[in-house]
Amino acid sequence: MIRVEKLKKSFGTNEVLRDINISIQPQEVVVVIGPSGSGKSTFLRCINRLETITEGHIYIEDKDITDKKTDINKIRENVGMVFQQFNLFPHKTVIENIMISPLKVKKAKESEAKEKGMALLRKVGLEEKANVYPDSLSGGQKQRVAIARALAMEPKIMLFDEPTSALDPEMVGEVLEVMKQLAKEGMTMVVVTHEMGFAREVGDRVIFMDGGYIVEENIPAELFGNPQNERTKLFLGKVL
C-alpha cells in the first residue's frame, strides 16, 4: 500500500531523514514513536508530499509520488491527514468543513455530500454540532471533526500526526476511541503518537525513529516488552 525506499529529506544542510525504508500493508496500523526532532512529522508529511522529498522514492498503491508526472492532488484524495493543531477552517461551519472538499474536488452533489457528511458526524458523535463554527468546539470535538473531514474524501490511508498532543487529558480518550473504531474497520493508518497505550492496543507494528533513521521496528508486545536497541531502551525507559 505504501512503500518507502531510501527516503532522505534535508532542510538546507539539516539532514532530517537519512535513510528510511519501510513497506506498509493494506489495513495495517503502524505507530511511529521517537524523541522530539527525530523526524516523525517530516516522515509523515513526506508521505503526502507536504514536504518535498530530497532523495529516494515513495510508492502509494504502486504510484511513485516522487515522480514529477504523478498528479499529487489525486494521490492526496486517497491519503487523509489529521494534524496536531486540527487546522479546521474557521470561516466554515462544521458540516461545511466536511463538505468542502467532496464538493470542490470530487464535484459531488450538494445533497449527497451533506448526507455523507452528516453520517460521518454521527460516526464521530457530533451530529448536533453540524451547524456551529469550529470556534465553539472543544479540542477533542475539533479533532473529531478533523477526522470526519479527512474521511469525507473516502481515503484509503489515514495519517495522524500527534492527534492528541494538543488536547487536555480528559479529551484524549474520545479521539483515540474514534481512531480505534477506524482501525477496526480496516483503515490503513500511520500514527505518530506519544500514547503508548494506544500503540500497544491498536498498533500492528511500532516503529521507533531516532536521528532520521528507523532504529527498530516490531510488533508492539515485542518492541515494548523486549527492545533490542540501546536507544530504544533509553527512550522507552523515559516515556513508559
Partner 1 sequence: MDFRFDIIVEYAPFFLKGTLLTIGLSLAGIAIGTILGLFIGLGKMLKNRWLSFPFECYITIFRGTPLMVQILLIHFAVVPFIIDDTNGIAAAIIALSLNAAAYIAEIFRAGILSIDKGQMEAARSLGMNHVQAMRYIILPQASKRMIPPLGNEFIILIKDSSLASLVAAPEIMYWGRAMNGQYFAVWEPYLTAAVIYLLLTLSLSYLLHRLERRLATE
Q: What residues make contact with partner 1 under the rule CB under 8 A?
A: 48, 50, 73-74, 76-77, 79-81, 83, 85, 87-91, 100-101, 104-106, 146, 149-150, 153
| Under rule CB under 6 A, residue 48 binds ligand ATP | no
Amino acid letter, 205: R
Helix (H) or strand (E) holding 96: helix 94-104
**Shortest distance in whole angstroms from residue 152 CB to ligand ATP:** 26
State which residue, 104 or 122, has the beta carbon closest to partner 1: 104
**Shortest distance in whole angstroms from residue 89 CB to partner 1:** 6
Helix (H) or strand (E) holding 74: helix 72-77
Could you please report the per-residue DSSP string of 139-207?
HHHHHHHHHHHHHTT--SEEEEESTTTTS-HHHHHHHHHHHHHHHHTT-EEEEE-S-HHHHHHH-SEEE
| Residue 30, burial from CB neighbour count under 10 angstroms (0-12, 13-18, 19+) | buried
State which residue, 11 or 89, has the beta carbon closest to ligand ATP: 11
**Shortest distance in whole angstroms from residue 127 CB to ligand ATP:** 32
**Shortest distance in whole angstroms from residue 211 CB to partner 1:** 25
Q: Which of residues 20-39 bind ligand ATP (CB under 6 A)?
A: 34, 36-39
Q: Which residues bind Mg ion (CB under 5 A)?
A: 41
State which residue, 126 or 207, has the beta carbon closest to ligand ATP: 207
DSSP single-letter state for residue 128: G
| Under rule CB under 6 A, residue 97 binds ligand ATP | no
CA distances (Å), 172 to each of 89, 197, 210, 229, in order? 22, 12, 25, 30
Give which of Mg ion, ligand ATP, partner 1, none residue 50 binds (C-beta under 5 to 8 Å, depending on kind).
Answer: partner 1
Beta carbons of 195 and 180 less than 8 angstroms apart: no
Residues engaged in binding ligand ATP (CB under 6 A): 11, 14, 16, 34, 36-42
